[in-house]
């Protein structure tokens, strides 16, 4: 069976800087609470549902390979989408980088193993599994979206349709929260935006990998639409 990506085109995003600033400030205010019952329940659901999505992609024939240290990976989103079109996806593994101050967040639920063995014979961490699935079910299925602010939010809006309300709380943190922090935070947001414009996505400042949940009024709000 050969993998055939299914492309959706049902979202059109227009970035509102005020929305981006609100979400970036909200991410800064998040506390890292991986053992909080609500946080744990949401991340457990996100990981469980992501595993199911991953298994469906593999069953459909998608070939997935882990990038080796030193590999440049995809320079542009177009390269990634072309590779997906050919039934293959390579991914940047968590072991090569887990966001800012990662040493402070080693108890993050996304660092736990999934029991799924990758092409290198090792257990794939939940973070890797999610990023693999999000590239397909988020970016690829939302009109081949790129890694710009518009593309990232478009991918979130598409991918959230595949998760339960409980899992969507953690999904919001891992996608909309981190992405908006990246380009609208008060410290490095402007620099990141300029780098994206210049095509320097591999040299961005990343958000801290906190396991926490935004207030429901933000999660259920309407942003960049």
Look up the pTM and report it: 0.90
Contacts 24+ apart (CB under 8 A), 151-154: 151/13, 151/77, 152/179, 153/13, 153/15, 153/179, 153/180, 153/223, 153/224, 154/11, 154/12, 154/13
As a whole number, mean pLDDT of residues 5-24 equals 78
Mean pLDDT of the chain: 89
Nearest to 138 by CA among 187, 179, 97, 100: 179
Q: What is the pLDDT of residue 12?
A: 78
As a whole number, mean pLDDT of residues 49-64 equals 97
The C-alpha atoms of residue 2 and residue 112 are separated, in whole angstroms, by 30
Which backbone phi and psi does 125 adopt, to 5 degrees? -65, 155
| Structure confidence at residue 204 as a pLDDT band (50, 70, 90) | confident
Q: 189 with 177: CB under 8 angstroms?
A: no
Q: What is the pLDDT of residue 8?
A: 46
The C-alpha atoms of residue 136 and residue 105 are separated, in whole angstroms, by 26
The C-alpha atoms of residue 133 and residue 199 are separated, in whole angstroms, by 24
**37-59 and 126-133 helices cross at what angle (nearest 10)?**
60
Q: Is the pLDDT confidence value at 207 over 70?
A: yes
Per-residue pLDDT tens over the stretch 106-116: 899 999 999 99
Per-residue pLDDT tens over the stretch 74-123: 888 999 999 999 999 999 888 766 554 555 568 999 999 999 998 889 99
Token pair, residue 187, equals 């410290």
Of 23 and 2, more confident? 23
Per-residue pLDDT tens over the stretch 154-190: 999 999 999 999 999 999 999 999 999 999 999 998 8
Q: What is the pLDDT of residue 189?
A: 87
Per-residue pLDDT tens over the stretch 25-40: 999 999 999 999 999 9
| Structure confidence at residue 129 as a pLDDT band (50, 70, 90) | very high
Q: 30 with 185: CB under 8 angstroms?
A: no
Structure-derived torsion over alpha carbons of residues 207, 117, 1, 60, reported in degrees to the nearest 10: -40
Q: 40 with 164: CB under 8 angstroms?
A: no
Token pair, residue 38, equals 């609500």
């Amino acid at each position: 069976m050969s993998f055939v990506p299914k492309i959706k085109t049902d979202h059109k995003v227009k970035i509102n800087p005020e929305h981006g600033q609100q979400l970036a400030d909200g991410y800064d205010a998040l506390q890292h609470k991986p053992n909080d019952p609500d946080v744990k329940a949401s991340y457990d659901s996100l990981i469980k549902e992501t595993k199911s999505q991953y298994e469906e992609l593999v069953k459909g024939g998608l070939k997935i390979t882990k990038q080796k240290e030193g590999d440049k990976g995809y320079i542009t989103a177009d390269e990634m989408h072309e590779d997906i079109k050919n039934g293959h996806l390579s991914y940047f593994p968590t072991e090569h980088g887990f966001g800012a101050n990662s040493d402070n967040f080693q108890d993050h639920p996304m660092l736990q193993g999934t029991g799924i063995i990758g092409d290198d014979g090792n257990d794939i961490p939940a973070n890797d599994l999610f990023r693999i699935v999000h590239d397909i079910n988020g970016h690829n299925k939302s009109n081949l979206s790129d890694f710009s602010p518009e593309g990232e939010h478009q991918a979130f809006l598409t991918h959230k349709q595949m998760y339960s309300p409980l899992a969507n709380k953690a999904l919001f943190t891992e996608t909309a929260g981190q992405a908006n922090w990246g380009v609208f935070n008060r410290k490095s947001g402007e620099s990141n935006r300029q780098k994206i414009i210049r095509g320097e996505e591999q040299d961005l400042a990343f958000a801290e990998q906190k396991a926490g949940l935004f207030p429901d009024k933000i999660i259920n709000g309407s942003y960049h639409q």
